[in-house]
Amino acid sequence: MDKHLNKIEEQLQKLILTKDFEDLDKTEKSFVLQHSSVYDYQLERKIVRDAESLFYDEEKVVPLPLSLEQIEEKKKGLLAPIPLYQSVLLALAAACIVFFFMPRTQVIEKNPEKTTEYISKVDTVFHTIQQRDTVYQTIEKPVYLEKKIYVDRYISANDQTSKNEEPQLFDIPKGNSIELNMAELKNKGTSLKNDPTATLLQDINFGE
């Protein structure tokens, strides 16, 4: 691609187009000699001048009459331009025609024999199996049972200390009252309800 002209080239071109070398003034001659040569200047000047009359013979050729038939054909015939939607419809119609009349290359067998083909394939399958199991663990733990047996005994009158001591309903640990509150006390006595002698007592409702 040609690069655009710089100022010197433009000035040189302008001079070539307008003046013969002999008609240039002193400054212009100096400019031409600085950037070109007399020979090149005169040659280019001659090219430009002679180019005007170069094709004299060609310009004398008479054109043939206008072929209106060709233009009429163009207007009415197949070559006439059609709107875009019409060309789309035509294309669709052509596609349908081609589809229906296109020879089928695929042969369809009516009773195809069933054959089984085994294709060996080597593949790697990673299968992760999760196994779950129940494990029973036997833990032996010693259990200590404490059994208190209260025994009725007859206390002689002489034995003052034993007389005052009555059998207790609860097994109360000895200590201060706070510990007493925290302790789990179990009723170890016998309910009157279950006592057959309780019937002897009057005006007592046992919640029956």
Contact with another protein (CB under 8 A): which of 40, 159, 165, 171? 40
Total residues binding another protein (CB under 8 A): 40
Structural tokens at position 58: 């060609």
Whole-angstrom distance, CA of residue 80 vs CA of residue 24 = 59
DSSP line for 154-167: ---TT-HHHHH-PP
50 binds another protein (CB under 8 A): yes
Residue range at the interface with another protein (CB under 8 A); choices 66-74, 120-128, 131-139, 195-203: 66-74
What is the C-alpha to C-alpha distance for residues 57 and 92, in angstroms, rounded to an integer?
53
- What is the Cα–Cα distance from 16 to 45, expressed in whole angstroms? 5
Give the Cβ contact number of residue 10 at 10 Å: 11
Q: How far is the CB of 90 from another protein (least distance, A)?
A: 19
Contacting residue, 23, 30, 35, 70, with another protein by CB under 8 A: 70
* Residues whose CB falls within 8 Å of the CB of residue 150, separated by 6 or more in sequence, listed in order: 167
**Interface residue with another protein, options 7, 25, 34, 58 (CB under 8 A):** 58
Residues 3 to 22: which contact another protein by CB under 8 A? 3-5, 9-10, 13, 16, 21
Amino acid at 88: V
Q: Choose which of 34, 68, 78, 150 interacts with another protein (CB under 8 A).
A: 68
> Is the distance from CB of 183 to CB of 163 less than 8 angstroms?
no
35 sits near another protein (criterion: CB under 8 A): no
DSSP annotation of 130 reads -
Smallest gap from Cβ 60 to another protein, in A, equals: 9
Binding site for another protein (CB under 8 A): 2-5, 9-10, 13, 16, 21, 37-40, 42-44, 46-48, 50-55, 58-59, 61-64, 66-68, 70-72, 74-75, 81
